[in-house]
Homo-oligomer: A and B are copies of this chain.
Amino acid sequence: MTDQATADLWPGERTGERPEAARRLLLAAVDSFARRGYHATTTRDIATAAGMSPAALYIHYPSKAALLSEISRTGHQATLNLVEHAARSDSDPVAQMRLLVEDFTAWHARGHTVGRIVNHELHALPDEDFEVVAELRRRIEETVKAVIDTGVASGAFDVPDVRTAARAVTSLGIDVSRWYTDRSSETPEELGRRYGILVLRMLGATG
Contacts and interface: CB of A to CB of B under 8 A. Distances in A.
Interface residues on A, range: 20 to 34
Interface string A169-183: 001101110110000
Interface centre among A119, A164, A198 (most CB of B within 10 A): A198
A168 B197 contact: no
A107 to B, nearest CB: 16
A44 interface: no
A42 to B, nearest CB: 11
A202 B197 CA distance: 9
Interface stretch (A22-30, A32-40, A91-99): A32-40
A79 to B, nearest CB: 15
A194 interface: yes
Given A171-B172, A171-B175, A161 B37 contact: no
